[in-house]
Amino acid sequence: MAIPAAGDGGGRVAGMTDAGSAAPVRIERDGDVAVVVLDKPPLNLFDESVFAGFEAAVAELVALTEPGRPDRARAVLLEARGKVVSGGVDVTAFRAIAEGPDPEQRGTALWARLLRVSQTLEDLPVPTVFAAHGLTLTAAFEFALACDVLLAAERASFGLVEIVVGLTPSMGGPQRLAERAGPARAKELVFTGERYPAAVLERWDVVNRVLPDEGFAEAARAYAHRVAAGPTLAHAATKRLVTTAVRHGVRAADEITPQVSGPLFGTADLRGAVASFLDEGPGQATYRGR
């Protein structure tokens, strides 16, 4: 949700005429990393083409990260082109729903559809990394919160500003903020609709790491490659255990740990890493994700 332009009475949104692109969302391969690129200049506003692009992208990511696939992506990186990650949502889509027939039913269907995108991204069996190099508002921020790791440049800022159009964030943002920062911080961020600097959200445990502006894109790629080079099946086990603990409690995670972690002893990665540790010392193993 972009900030209303000065002098427009709030009736239009700065950047609402965001120029279209043949592929506003695309997937690029960088070795073992699948890179989801948001590229809809000048503000990367979310409209139907972008939402549909992310739907298609996460469906493709499910296939690309499938265990046993020879060219499997072993990590996912989300990044954006341009000066900002996203200025928000093109609110003309909301007007069409609010002023059209059956607004409540259509609004419910919209959020159910978009929440599935966040959930599918969150449930991928490989590490997911979001790289925020600048302003990251509303839908983009909610997708960032569905990722495992949120990296931010020093100049980046974040906001869930849906209050400017009488909405609450409904793609999973508030509840995922509560997981990271606690319910009080989550409510504050949504109630105020303010933008928060990366450094503040790092202190709140929303942002994992703040990195220098210079070289940020390269550093984010390097981080994604680092986790992609790790033991992919063990990473999947970690994600499952942590997710179970968050959703159902620590004892529930304890209950499934033997069944989740035990099969790792049958993986080529574990056998190779143990042999490497004994023969060459720690830190020398290479993993193939099998």
Q: How does pLDDT run along the chain (290 residues), one tens digit per residue?
A: 443 332 233 332 222 234 444 689 999 999 999 999 999 999 999 999 999 999 999 999 999 999 989 999 999 999 999 999 999 999 998 999 999 999 999 999 999 999 999 999 999 999 999 999 999 999 999 999 999 999 999 999 999 999 999 999 999 999 999 999 999 999 999 999 999 999 999 999 999 999 999 999 999 999 999 999 999 999 999 999 999 999 999 999 999 999 999 999 999 999 999 999 999 888 888 999 99
SS3 content of the chain, % helix, strand, coil (to 5): 50, 15, 35
Task: Give the residues across from 226 on adjacent strands.
Answer: none
Backbone dihedral angles phi then psi of residue 89, each to the nearest 5 degrees: -110, 140
Sorted by where each begins, the domain ranges of the chain are 25-228, 232-280
DSSP class of residue 282?
T
pTM equals: 0.90
In this structure, the dihedral spanned by the alpha carbons of residues 255, 260, 262 and 264, taken in order and rounded to 10 degrees, is -160
CB 125 within 8 A of CB 67: yes
Q: Which CATH superfamily is domain 25-228 in?
A: 2-enoyl-CoA Hydratase; Chain A, domain 1 (3.90.226.10)
Query: Quick one: pLDDT at residue 22?
Result: 63
Distance CA 261, CA 89 (A): 41
Task: Report the C-alpha gap between 290 and 278 in whole angstroms.
Answer: 20
Whether 80 contacts 18, CB under 8 Å? no
Residues facing residue 79 across a β-bridge: 37
CA atoms within 13 A on the CB side of 53: 21
Give the pLDDT score at 21.
45
Provide DSSP, 42-65: TTT-B-HHHHHHHHHHHHHHHHHT
Per-residue confidence (pLDDT) for residue 143, from 0 to 100: 99
pLDDT of residue 285: 87
Q: Is the link from the previous residue into 174 a cis peptide, with omega within 30 of 0?
A: no
pLDDT at 13: 28
Which single residue is written with the structure tokens 């990251």? 136
Burial 227-262 (b: 16+ CB within 10 A, else e): bbbbbbbbbbbbbbbeebbeeeeeeebeeeeeebee
